[in-house]
A = this chain, B = another copy of it.
């Protein structure tokens, strides 16, 4: 996977994952590991969460569970549209790799 590593989807994915179920940082890490194959290092995930929080897109409760703010939901929806527009033919991709 030297070429086409597709960096850059991580922040979007975090929003997407949290949007489905609010969870803590470690759980997010495990969920990302399932998808990517490798577990992101703490130095990847916590700064990303911090940034999203700073932007007001996610919030954190007393149990360190992260969830989307109303703004975060809006942003997720808009990013999702963007994503689906770029990959409008993703079903073909699914078919293509069996």
Contacts and interface: CB of A to CB of B under 8 A. Distances in A.
Interface of A: 1-9, 11-13, 15-16, 35-37, 52, 55, 57, 75, 77-88, 90, 93-94, 96-97
This chain: how many copies in the complex?
2
A83 B77 contact: no
A83 B79 contact: no
Nearest to A51: B3
A2 B55 CA distance: 10
Given A35-B85, A93-B84, A6 B1 contact: no
A86 B3 contact: no
Contact of A96 (B7, B9, B80, B93): B80
